[in-house]
A and B are shown apart, each in its own frame.
Chain A
Amino acid sequence: ETGVTQTPRHLVMGMTNKKSLKCEQHLGHNAMYWYKQSAKKPLELMFVYSLEERVENNSVPSRFSPECPNSSHLFLHLHTLQPEDSALYLCASSQDFWRGNIQYFGAGTRLSVL
């Protein structure tokens, strides 16, 4: 148990659906991250939030919309996704977003887009 919880663990959605992924951390951290892990590419950072403000958007398509209402919760809103968006989406948190802070990961949400 790393202190980072992601729900749901598995999600199947059609290309016209709208769904949301949820991440909650119980570590008192100030920074939260979304990563994408697909079969064809290495783990890649999508977004970084620090104290509820987005500090990095790694050229992610607008069909992915993050939200950080407070430092303990992070959402990833999904709409009109493509089959190539099927992947494992991992959330992480760290004390802050300065270099070298250890990131603690959740177990991920495995998303399948039909």
Chain B
Amino acid sequence: AQKVTQAQTEISVVEKEDVTLDCVYETRDTTYYLFWYKQPPSGELVFLIRRNSFDEQNEISGRYSWNFQKSTSSFNFTITASQVVDSAVYFCAPTGGYNKLIFGAGTRLAVHP
């Protein structure tokens, strides 16, 4: 079965610290996509990044970067120089089936001033 494990339930950091959110997934598909979404207290899920399984090049986008390792089924997400506005629940989600997002339990990030 397809499954996502976000082992870190809650992370607390002080502003300007770097923080890495871990994600390990299981999938039976040979090609797939991976997403990270953020859910602030207002409730809506905000798209952050998308990665396909056949390109393992890691990238940086502003303060966000990610490390995709297909061999270990991991897709970790890093925020550099965290800010209070980054406080939210972060979800890792591979796709299954058509465009079905398989969500993990999420990691709650609290950034303190």
8 Å CB contact of B103 from A43, A55, A88: A43
Q: Give the contact-size bracket for chain A.
A: 20 to 34
Please tell me if the beta carbons of B43 and A56 are within 8 angstroms of each other in the complex.
Answer: no
Asked if B11 is at the interface of the complex by the 8 Å CB criterion, the answer is: no
- How many Å lie between the Cα of A108 and that of B32 in the bound state? 27
Most chain B CB within a 10 A radius of its CB, from A45, A99, A101: A99
Given the interface contacts A90-B45, A100-B33, does A48 sit within 8 Å of B50 by beta carbon?
A: no
- In the bound complex, residues from chain A placing their C-beta under 8 Å from that of B47 are 102-104
**Residue on A with the closest CB to B52?**
A100
Q: How many residues of B contact A (CB 8 A)?
A: 24
Please tell me if the beta carbons of A99 and B44 are within 8 angstroms of each other in the complex.
Answer: no
Please tell me if the beta carbons of A100 and B95 are within 8 angstroms of each other in the complex.
Answer: yes
**Residue on B with the closest CB to A103?**
B101
Could you write out 17 A-B pairs with CB less than 8 Å apart?
A2-B44, A42-B4, A43-B103, A56-B98, A90-B44, A97-B98, A99-B98, A102-B35, A103-B47, A103-B99, A104-B47, A105-B37, A105-B45, A105-B46, A106-B44, A107-B43, A107-B44
With contacts A100-B33, A103-B47 known, what are 19 further pairs, Cβ within 8 A?
Answer: A42-B103, A42-B104, A43-B103, A44-B103, A45-B101, A48-B100, A58-B100, A88-B43, A94-B99, A99-B32, A99-B33, A99-B95, A99-B97, A101-B99, A103-B99, A104-B47, A107-B42, A108-B44, A110-B43
